[in-house]
Amino acid sequence: MKNIRFSLLVAVVVLSNVVSAQTLEQGKKFLYYQRYVSAKETLQKVVAANPNNIEAIYWLGQTLLKMKDSAAATDVYQKALTSNGTAPLLLAGIGEIELREGKNADARARFDQAILLTKGKDVSILNAVALANVDAAGGDPVYALEKLNQATQVKNFKSPETYIIMGDAYRKQIDGGGAVTSYQKALTVDPQYAEAKFKIGMVYLTQNNKDYFLPAFADALQLDPNYAPAYYQLYFYWYSRDINKAKDYFEKYVAVADNTPSNEYDRASIKFASHDNDGAIAMSNATLAKLGADAPPKYYRLISHAYLMKGDSVNAKNYIDQYFAKQKPEDFEADDYSYRARVVAKVPGTDSTEAFKDFQLAVDKDTSIENKSKVLKEASELAKNTHNKAYSAQFAGELYALNKNPVNTDLYNWGMANYQAGNFKTADSIFCGLYIPKYPTEIYGYLWCARSKRALDDSINTAGLAIDAYAKLGAVARAMDSTAKATGSADSTKYRPQAREAFFILASYYNDIKKDKQTAIYYLEQVLVVDPTNTTASKYIEILKKPAKQPAAPIKKPGATGGAKPAGQ
C-alpha cells in the first residue's frame, strides 16, 4: 500500500512539473507575441506554484520591464535573490535593473559573475546578459555583441533568440545592415520564426521604405498568423491612408492580442479617423469615466484632436493641457509638442510665443531630419503670419543647418530673416561671410552685405562701416552690366539700381562725413554713367562744383581808422 501511495505521489510530482513546464513555455510564448498581460498572469501562477522556479522568475521580471513597471521587476528579482543569490539568470536580471539605474559597474560585475558561474557555455545566460545591455538605455551594445557571438560558438547552438538580440544590438548602434543580417540568421535556425521577419520590417520602417517593410510584415503573418505585432504595425500604417484597411487589420489584431485598455483607445481613434468626432469624444469620455486615474493620458489628446477637427480650439486646448498635466515627462513624443503648438496658434487671443516654444521642443526631441524640417517650416509659416521676425530668423537658421544640399535661395532666406529681425551682425556674417564666397557671381550677397553693414552704423554712417562693401557693390554691379560690351553691345541695365544705390551712398559719405567734395563728385558722376538722366545726381554735382561764396568785405564804420572823416572836421 505504501508503494502504491509512493508511486502516486511521484506521479503527481512528475505531472505537476510537466504542467509547470508547459505553463512556463506558455508564458514565454505570450511574451514573444507581446501579450504582456497574459504573460504576466501566466508566469505569476508558475512562480506562485513554485517560488524557486528561477526561469519563471526571470521571465516574469522581463515581462514587467516590458510593461514599464521597473519597480515591480526590481521587487521580483530582489526577493528571489535573497534565497537564490548565485542564480545566473537572476544575476542577469538584477544586472539589467542596475543598468537602468545607472549603476553600470555593478551591473557588469553581475553579468561577468553569471557568465563565470556557467563557464560561458550557457546560451540562455549569454542571451540574458546581452538582452539586458540592449534593452537598458545605459547598456553596452558592443559588450552584448561579444557575448552573443560567444553564444553562437557553444556546442549544439540552435537559438534563434540569440540572433534576434544580436539584430537589436546592431540597431542600437544604428547599423541597419548588421541588424537585417542577424535577423535573417535567426530564420536559418528556425524558418518559422515570425519575429525575425517582423524585426526586418521594423528596420525598413525606420528608413520609411514601404517597399520592404510592408512585405516583411506580411511575411511574418504568413509564417505565424498569431503574431499580433505585425497586424498592429499594418493597422498603424494604413490608419492615415485607408481607414477601412486599417479597421480590417485592427480586428485581426484584437483577435490574437490581449484585451487591454489600449484596444479601446484604438477603437475610439478609428472613429476619429472615420470623421466621427462626436463618437470619438463620447467613447473616450466613457473610458475616462470608467478608468478614472488609471486611464491612459492619450485619451485626452485624442479628445483634443476631435475638438480641433470640429473647429473648437478652446476645448482642444483644454484637453491637450490635461494631457500634458497627466502624461509622464519621459513618455512625451516630439509630435505632442508640435500638436500643442498648432492648437495654441488657433486659440483666439493666445500669445503665439508659447506655440513657438512648443515647436522648438518638438524639433529638439525629434530624431528625424525630415520631421525636424517639416516642423520648422510650419513654425516659420506661423512666425511669418504673426509677423514675429525674431522667431522667423531663428527657424530660418535651423532650417538652413538641417539642409544637406542648400541652394542660394536657402542662404538668402536665412540672411534676410535676420536682417528683417534686426540681427544685422548675423546678417552681415551670412551675406558677407557665406553668400559672397559661395555665390560670387550673384549681386544679392554684395547688396545685402553692404546694407547689413550700413545698418550696423549710425543713421548718417559716421563710422563708414559699409563703405568698402558699397564700393565693392558698385564695382560688381558695373562689371556685371558691362560684360555685354565685349560683344559690342550696349551696357546692360539689369544691375543699374544696385550700382546707383552704391554710388549715391558713397557720394553722401565722402561729402558729409569725410568733407571730400572731389570724391563725392566722382561718385555722383558714376551715377550718371549708369543712369544718364538722373536729375538728382546732376543737381548735386552742380551744387558741389559751384565755387564757395567769398565772405563779403566788412563795412567800415565812419571814423574808423583809414576811413572818411565826418563833415566839418
Judge contact between 520 and 507, C-beta under 8 A: yes
pTM for the full model?
A: 0.71
The residue among 311, 331, 351 that closes a domain is 331
Q: Is residue 402 part of a domain?
A: no
Residue 286: inside a domain: yes
Distance CA 226, CA 33 (A): 8
- Would 4 be classed as within a structural domain? no
Task: Kindly state whether residue 279 falls inside one of the protein's structural domains.
Answer: yes
Q: Which of 370, 396, 402, 372 is nearest to 384 (CA)?
A: 396
pLDDT truncated to tens, each residue of the chain (569 aa)? 444 443 433 343 443 444 456 699 999 999 999 999 999 999 999 999 999 999 999 999 999 999 999 999 999 999 999 999 999 999 999 999 999 999 999 999 999 999 999 999 999 999 999 999 999 999 999 999 999 999 999 999 999 999 999 999 999 999 999 999 999 999 999 999 999 999 999 999 999 999 999 999 999 999 999 999 999 999 999 999 999 999 999 999 999 999 988 899 999 999 999 999 999 999 999 999 998 998 999 999 999 999 999 999 999 999 999 999 999 998 999 999 999 999 999 999 888 999 999 999 999 999 889 999 999 999 999 999 999 999 999 999 999 999 999 999 999 999 999 999 999 999 999 999 999 999 999 999 999 999 999 999 998 889 999 999 999 999 999 999 875 555 556 668 899 999 999 999 999 999 999 999 999 999 999 999 999 999 999 999 999 998 867 666 665 555 544 443 333 33
Residue 478 in domain: yes
Q: 480-519 burial, b if ≥16 CB within 10 A, otherwise e?
A: bbeeeeeeeeeeeeebbebbbbbbbbbbbbbbeeeeeeee
Q: What is the CA radius of gyration of the chain?
A: 39
In the listed set 331, 349, 375, which residue is the last one of a domain according to the structure? 331
DSSP three-state, residue 296? coil
Backbone angles phi, psi at 118, to 5 degrees: -105, 10
Whether 169 contacts 134, CB under 8 Å: yes
| Domain contains 555 | no
Structure letter (DSSP) for residue 226: T
256 within 8 A of 267, measured Cβ to Cβ: no
Instruction: Give the span between the Cα atoms of 368 and 333, in whole angstroms.
Output: 12
Residue 528's domain spans which residues?
Answer: 466-484+491-545
Which of 303, 331, 359 is the last residue in one of the domains?
331
CATH of the domain at 268: 1.25.40
Q: 237 near 218, Cβ under 8 Å? A: no
Q: Rounded to an integer, what distance in angstroms lies between the CA atom of residue 185 and that of residue 182? A: 5
Count of the separate structural domains present in the chain: 2
- Give a yes or no: residue 251 inside a domain: no
Q: Is residue 224 part of a domain?
A: no
* Grid cell locating 338: 508640435
